[in-house]
Structure 1
């Protein structure tokens, strides 16, 4: 059953994702306090959604741990920034595993498009500095529709 608290929390997460997008575009940084706030509010989300400690919360933690390990590899090879890795990891605490997989797929597609577009822009302007992709944009643009579909769209008749 959907409670008003779930809508408020989902709206708060969307606002946090929009802020992460803005900071990533502006300075190529996703602030640690933002990621910490998202992570620390996950237990309230679990409670509001009625997620059982076992196996529900254990699954959320396991998916987040696997995401962290996988995306740390992307960070290690220079494919993602640390804030991006932290953002996708804390999202895993909030999203059901299937929804998280949807985000990963859409994030990958969006990130690829974003990378190609920025590469073309970079080359066209003959910029000499290394290309830095604001991958937080792809993460947020993938997560927001998944959250909206799950927690807001079902009210439409």
Structure 2
């Protein structure tokens, strides 16, 4: 086990998150392989930082299960896209509860700002044309930004 492995994994995670955010802007979808890679790298990260099976790994799995239920409900109601839900659940495998709750707060605020901005743009376009397509919010952007903000702490603390 190398001491640089956690930092390398966090760097790969950051690249995947940025890529998912860009993809969501461009296509309003997040590829399943990106969310799967985020989720499947988490156990390697747990091993690299020495998490114990109980309570650490069990806690991460419980957090992910809770997020799947919560955001799965939001998806079922049509409030969020499936890729967004998968990305949130995959990211929950990487962070302790407190850090993840910070991610959710930043994500919510950022998503609200993004939605408000898109509503203004959509209303403006609708006034100019009758054939304006329905608005789709690339919420993956808010998730990606919140994840990067949340990840800065463990990345920067590697050097202390």
Partner of 2:17: 17
TM-score of the two chains, using structure 2 as the length reference: 0.92
Paired residues of 2:14 and 2:148 also in contact (CA < 8 A)? yes
Matched residues, number: 155
Q: State the TM-score, normalized to the length of structure 1.
A: 0.94
Q: Select 1:129's aligned residue among 122, 126, 133.
A: 133
Contact in 2 for aligned 1:7/1:152 (Cα 8 Å): no
2: CA distance, partners of 1:150 / 1:33: 25
Q: Distance in 2 between matches of 1:38 and 1:128?
A: 35
Residue 149 of structure 2 is matched in structure 1 by: 145
**Could you list the runs of 5+ residues in structure 2 that have no partner in the other structure?**
none
Structure 1 residue runs of 4+, over 4 Å off? none
Residues 35-63 of structure 1 deviation map (CA, whole Å, 9 limit, x = unaligned)? 11111111100001111011110000000
Using the alignment, how far apart are the partners of 1:103 and 1:59 within structure 2? 17
Residues 107-147 of structure 1: per-residue CA shift (max 9 Å, x gap): 00000000000010111111632211101100010010111
Alignment-derived partner of residue 91 in structure 2: 91
Structure with max Cα Rg: 2
Deviates more, 1:125-134 or 1:74-83: 125-134
Distance in 2, matches of 1:93 and 1:154, equals 20
Question: Please, what is the CA RMSD of the aligned residues?
Answer: 1.4
Shift of 1:153: 4.9
- The CA deviation at 1:33 is 0.8
